[in-house]
């Protein structure tokens, strides 16, 4: 690389990769090269860690978050890597940027575009051969999922039929040496993340492994080794705009004190120059998601979405977005977490939705190999994915931050929405024959007023249809906690179907 390099035009939020040639030495306790990127107009500076990528190759990846001219310089104890510089011009492209927390309980891209996560899971996907690897991405993209959870380290234990030969580190004296990452492994991880981004899917990266079961020994890293690996991982992946960090899946299966997780999470927040979303997922014991490093609560709970009024309590406790990343799976295995039918899983997703939370899908049908889709991936077999893709289209049509419970104190209908603008009432798995027009009134939010006019759509959550009622409703009775259109006849419904109502104010 020449001492000064002018790169071609780059797009906003898209990774820029700088490549250096050095001595090939891998520093065990520090970043081999650091890039300082500065935005000319504002003076904003981003400090970007670089990484070794095999042989004498070093790289640093940066995703500019401001339009205009940027300049950069490199710094390293290796003279071959230090003192390099260059400039690049950043223009707006088609990328919306990283997903952030928005309006306290929801998500939006950096440019303000709302993001409604409807997730999928295949823990051991990264380690599968073709065609299974690619068919997984095809399946979740075609179903309409926009977030995908997978582990960096290979999974051990039950339902694991494929043992990878490519591992993340070399061994020294029979123990994994995190100071010697295997470039081919992490290049595969790079490509996996890129493939998801190309299909419009957020990569929810599970960093540490609670499922080693002693098979590989990657669960035996010390806290210092955790930190070395974490710095390397962040340096490689953080420039991708569609990355989410999950510190661990079922963290409480690992015998580690909570304060170790606290320190590791705080380190992650400190070293990520692009400030991606951060979470940690539980098994039995909930993590303290009020920790400042946690951006959103990632929750496993088998019963929280079986009844109305439960999931929203997590919002009250944490004051952050809540993603229910395991609410059991659609499948056919005997384990209590793995044999929901599709109707039940879709029902639970809608309960999560009107609670103002989000959920993730998994499929636990036994595969030909003896594994499960939520372990190895592959084509989807269940009936829920299409219905969850339909739910996502309904969520995408919301003109606002997202759905919040309207009256969380005592609304027997558990209606969610945006006060005075939009309301969604899920009638459950078996709707009544008729519905009388009623809106809850909560605090805070704008109160509906007499004369407000609304249209109503009947959403069939299983048959995936949206049917306008075809008449206008006008509020004529606004009380302290409820508002009604007493003059209108009840809405006739297909009794017994799984239905939701979308109630939208018009002319306002």
- Please write the tens of the pLDDT for every residue from 230-286: 999 999 999 999 999 999 999 999 999 999 999 999 999 999 999 999 999 999 999
For residue 436, pLDDT over 50 is answered with yes
- State residue 508's pLDDT score: 66
Burial class (CB in 10 A: 0-12, 13-18, 19+), 266: middle
Q: Which pair of tokens denotes residue 460?
A: 């069939």
* Sign of the C-alpha dihedral computed for residues 281, 283, 289 and 292 taken in this order: negative
CATH tag, 406-507: 2.60.40.3950
For residue 27, pLDDT over 80 is answered with no
In this prediction, residue 29 has a pLDDT band, given cuts at 50, 70 and 90, of: low
* Helix 342-354 × helix 384-396 angle, to 10°: 20
Query: 3-state class of 129 per DSSP?
Result: coil
Burial class (CB in 10 A: 0-12, 13-18, 19+), 256: middle
- The domain ranges of the chain are 4-90, 99-396, 406-507
For residue 351, pLDDT over 90 is answered with yes
Cα gap 440→416, rounded to integer Å: 9
Percent of the chain topping pLDDT 90: 91
- State residue 7's pLDDT score: 52
More confident of the two residues 214 and 312: 312
In this prediction, residue 23 has a pLDDT band, given cuts at 50, 70 and 90, of: confident
For residue 127, pLDDT over 80 is answered with yes
187-203 tens-digit pLDDT: 999 999 999 999 999 99
59-75 tens-digit pLDDT: 999 999 999 999 999 99
Cα gap 90→88, rounded to integer Å: 6
In this prediction, residue 8 has a pLDDT band, given cuts at 50, 70 and 90, of: low
According to DSSP, the residues that pair with 57 across neighbouring strands are 21
In this prediction, residue 126 has a pLDDT band, given cuts at 50, 70 and 90, of: very high
In this prediction, residue 2 has a pLDDT band, given cuts at 50, 70 and 90, of: very low
- State residue 1's pLDDT score: 39
- State residue 26's pLDDT score: 76
For residue 423, pLDDT over 70 is answered with yes
For residue 94, pLDDT over 70 is answered with yes
According to DSSP, the residues that pair with 435 across neighbouring strands are 491
Mean residue pLDDT across the chain: 95
33-43 tens-digit pLDDT: 999 999 999 99
For residue 378, pLDDT over 80 is answered with yes
The vertex-395 CA angle with 248 and 463, nearest 5°, equals 105
- State residue 160's pLDDT score: 81
Q: Which pair of tokens denotes residue 179?
A: 């100071």
- State residue 345's pLDDT score: 98
Average pLDDT over residues 392-405: 97
Average pLDDT over residues 368-395: 95
What stretches of 220-308 adopt beta strand conformation (E)? Answer: 243-248, 278-279, 297-300
For residue 387, pLDDT over 60 is answered with yes
CATH of 99-396, one of 3.55.40.20, 1.20.1560.10, 3.20.20.80, 3.40.50.300: 3.20.20.80
The vertex-219 CA angle with 271 and 370, nearest 5°, equals 115
477-487 tens-digit pLDDT: 999 999 999 99
Cα gap 87→498, rounded to integer Å: 57
CATH topology of 99-396 equal to that of 406-507? no
CATH 2.60.40.10 fits 4-90, yes or no: yes
Any residues with CB less than 8 A from the CB of 356 and at least 6 apart, and which?
Answer: 105, 312, 315, 322, 402, 403, 404, 405, 416
In this prediction, residue 4 has a pLDDT band, given cuts at 50, 70 and 90, of: very low
């Amino acid at each position: 690389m020449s001492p000064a390099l002018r790169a071609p035009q780059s797009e906003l939020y898209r990774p820029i990769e700088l490549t250096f040639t050095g001595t090939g030495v891998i520093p065990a306790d520090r970043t081999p090269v650091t890039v300082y990127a500065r935005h000319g107009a504002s003076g904003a500076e981003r400090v970007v860690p670089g990484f070794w990528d095999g042989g004498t190759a070093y790289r640093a990846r940066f995703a500019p978050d401001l339009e205009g001219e940027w300049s950069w310089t490199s710094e390293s104890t290796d003279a071959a890597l230090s003192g390099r510089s260059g400039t690049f011009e950043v223009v707006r492209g088609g990328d919306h940027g990283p997903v952030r927390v928005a309006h306290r309980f929801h998500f939006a891209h950096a440019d303000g575009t709302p993001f409604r996560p409807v997730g999928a899971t295949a823990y051991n996907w990264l380690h599968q051969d073709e065609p299974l690897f690619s068919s997984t991405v095809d399946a979740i993209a075609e179903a309409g999922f926009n977030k995908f959870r997978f582990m960096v380290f290979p999974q051990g234990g039950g339902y694991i039929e494929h043992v990878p030969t490519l591992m993340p580190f070399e061994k020294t004296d029979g123990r994994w040496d995190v100071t010697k990452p295997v470039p081919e492994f992490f290049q595969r991880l790079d490509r996996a993340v890129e493939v998801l981004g190309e299909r419009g899917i957020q990569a929810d990266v599970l960093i540490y492994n609670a499922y080693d079961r002693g098979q590989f020994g990657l669960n035996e890293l010390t806290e210092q080794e955790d930190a070395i690996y974490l710095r390397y991982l962040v340096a490689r992946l953080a420039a991708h705009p569609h990355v989410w960090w999950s510190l661990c899946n079922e963290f409480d299966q690992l015998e580690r004190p909570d304060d170790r997780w606290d320190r590791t999470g705080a380190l992650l927040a400190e070293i990520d120059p692009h400030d991606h979303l951060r979470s940690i997922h539980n098994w039995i014991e909930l993590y303290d998601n009020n920790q400042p490093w946690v951006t959103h609560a990632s929750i496993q709970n088998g019963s929280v979405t079986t009844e109305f009024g439960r999931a929203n309590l997590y919002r009250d406790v944490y004051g952050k977005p809540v993603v229910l990343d395991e609410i059991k799976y659609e499948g056919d295995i005997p384990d209590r977490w793995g044999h929901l039918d599709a109707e039940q899983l879709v029902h639970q997703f809608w309960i999560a939705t009107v609670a103002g939370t989000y959920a993730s899908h998994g499929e636990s049908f036994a595969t030909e190999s003896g594994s499960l889709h939520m372990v190895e991936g592959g084509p989807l077999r269940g009936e829920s994915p299409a219905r969850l893709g339909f739910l996502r289209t309904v969520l995408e049509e919301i003109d606002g931050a997202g759905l919040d419970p309207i009256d969380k104190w005592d609304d027997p209908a558990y209606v969610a929405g945006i006060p005075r603008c939009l309301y969604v009432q899920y009638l459950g798995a078996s709707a009544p024959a008729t519905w009388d027009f009623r809106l809850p009134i909560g605090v805070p939010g704008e109160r509906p007023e007499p004369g407000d006019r609304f249209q109503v759509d009947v959403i069939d959550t299983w048959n995936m249809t949206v049917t306008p009622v075809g008449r206008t409703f006008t509020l004529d009775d606004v009380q302290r906690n409820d508002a009604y259109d007493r003059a209108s006849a009840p809405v006739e419904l297909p009794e017994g179907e799984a239905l939701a109502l979308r109630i939208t104010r018009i002319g306002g």
